[in-house]
Amino acid sequence: MTPSPADRIIIALDVPTKEEGIALVGRLADARTFKVGLELFTAEGPALFRKLKALRKDIFLDLKLHDIPNTVAGAVRSAHRHGVQMMTLHTSGGREMMAKAAEAAKAAADAGTGPKPILLGVTVLTSLKGSDLEEVGMGSDVASQVLRLAGLAKAAGLDGVVCSPQEIEVLRKEYGRELAIVTPGIRPAWAAAQDQKRIMTPAEAVAKGADYLVIGRPITGAPSPNEAFLRIVEELDQSRP
Ligand code: C5P
């Protein structure tokens, strides 16, 4: 099912404390999904999830899991118990790790304790270039490694992948609509690029095939975060075919 423009936007809660996170959520009345990453989760743990749930928000847990299959499956079950809707794992953890995670997500949902968590595979971190991949023995061709790992994620039963805006089209072409695509590196035309180098506007990314957009500073750093959020929703609405 195609998400509505508002549901496509995932707000990056890149803050160090629960208080700052919750204050930000409070300033984003119309946003639904918030990304909690390593910094905030390490600081606050699942106590933060209770707060987000109480505010009726959805949680994208971005911990990029990478461990033995049994351990990752256990983390998926734990996240589900805490009401996490979406979470990330490293596709380089291998087929069995991803398949066990997918099984755990399905079993958790079948038990009737909430919707199945959406599992998203991380392929090659955008901080790595060809020579870095070579150093860890993964060959030097980033693009073909991304395609290969996305294909493995699909075969293992993951729901989608996280990729940079530049990779959306090729992944769509290769794997159709079956893999959900989540992309950061999004900048509306009216926002500053900051440290993001290869950026795309929200409408461009959706036109190329992105399902969800992870957006941080253009929204969280705006004088009124909710207004910035609604401005992007409107742009997405207007660019709908
Ligand atoms: O503030 P900004 O919109 O740049 O935030 C984007 C979010 O997406 C941050 O949480 C960042 O860590 C994450 N991200 C990214 N680029 C990647 C992967 C994740 O910007 N390649």
pLDDT (tens digit per residue) in 83-93: 999 999 999 99
pLDDT at 54 over 90: yes
pLDDT at 1 over 80: no
On average, the pLDDT of the chain sits at 96
User: pLDDT above 90 covers what percent of the chain?
Assistant: 93
CA dist 164 and 62 (Å) reads: 15
User: Do the beta carbons of residue 153 and residue 161 sit within 8 Å?
Assistant: yes
CA dist 82 and 76 (Å) reads: 10
Per-residue pLDDT band at 159 (split at 50, 70, 90): very high
pLDDT at 197 over 90: no
pLDDT at 196 over 90: no
CA 99 / ligand 1 centre spacing (Å)? 26
SS3 189: coil
In 3D space, the residue among 213, 230, 229, 233 whose CA is nearest the CA of residue 221 turns out to be 229
Determine the residue of 10, 11, 14 to mutate for testing ligand 1's pocket, defined as the one with the most ligand atoms within 8 A of the Cβ atom.
14
pLDDT at 48 over 90: yes
What the block records as the tokens of 233 is 């929703």
> Is ligand 1 within 6 A of the CB of residue 95?
no
Whole-number pLDDT of residue 140: 82
In 3D space, the residue among 125, 75, 78, 63 whose CA is nearest the CA of residue 100 turns out to be 75
Whether pTM exceeds 0.85: yes
Give the catalytic positions in this structure.
64
pLDDT at 178 over 80: yes
- E strands, the chain, in order: 9-12, 33-37, 58-65, 86-90, 118-122, 160-162, 180-183, 212-215
CA 196 / ligand 1 centre spacing (Å)? 8
CA dist 126 and 240 (Å) reads: 29
Whole-number pLDDT of residue 240: 84
How do beta strands 9-12 and 160-162 pair?
A: unpaired
Per-residue pLDDT band at 198 (split at 50, 70, 90): confident
User: pLDDT above 70 covers what percent of the chain?
Assistant: 100
Per-residue pLDDT band at 167 (split at 50, 70, 90): very high
| Crossing angle between the packed helical segments 142-156 and 168-175, to the nearest 10 degrees | 40
